[in-house]
Amino acid sequence: MPPFINTPVYFGNFLVTPQVFHLTTHSFALVNIKPLLPGHVLVSPRRAAKRLSDLNHAEVTDLFLTVQQVGRMVERFYGASSLNIAIQDGPAAGQSVPHLHTHIIPRQSADLDGQGGSDAIYGMLEGDEGDVGKHQWEKSNRRPKFPTVDDSSRKPRGEQEMAEEAQKLAHEMTQQQLHDKASQSSL
């Protein structure tokens, strides 16, 4: 368990504590098992709410403030100039884990030119490569509910690699919080 977490953290039915790099009262941020681009992370409510409409006011506020804060950090840390922020709110929208989560994907100019341009990210989110639930099922050695699709260019990451990234990002969140406080006090 990361040193700042004293209880297990679940994403749906999946234990993800080693992937978590930031905790708030109502939310957590975790590294993605199979990121679409470097720095692709998720922010989720601590309570296993399935849909955005299931959250109360405090949870919604905390979730989006956490998305904003984590977004600033990954944009800085990964040298991005923009972000994709996406929620697939329910199964018909492509949600693969029945636990609300926000994708934060750092972007750089022309990063997907070889795959159809900037908007290719949406197809990636909707396709096999963005299927977080499938990759978590595979990691836990449970049989997925759908056929495996060959995605040889992207392999799920191991526990150690994700834990190391989570530790780096936890440090960067601390730096971001200090930077944000300094910025606010100079206003």
d(CA 31, CA 78): 13
The DSSP symbol for 14 reads E
d(CA 144, CA 97): 12
d(CA 63, CA 83): 17
Question: Which entry of 101, 135, 171, 179 is annotated as an active-site residue?
Answer: 101
- Residue from 45, 15, 59, 7 nearest 33 by CA: 15
Coil, helix or strand at residue 15: strand
Max intra-chain CA distance, the chain: 54
**What count of Cα atoms within 13 Å lies in the side-chain half-sphere of residue 97?**
29
Instruction: Check if 101 is active-site.
Output: yes
CB atoms within 10 A of CB 177: 14
Secondary structure element (H or E) that encloses residue 83, with its range: strand 82-87
Which residues are designated catalytic?
101
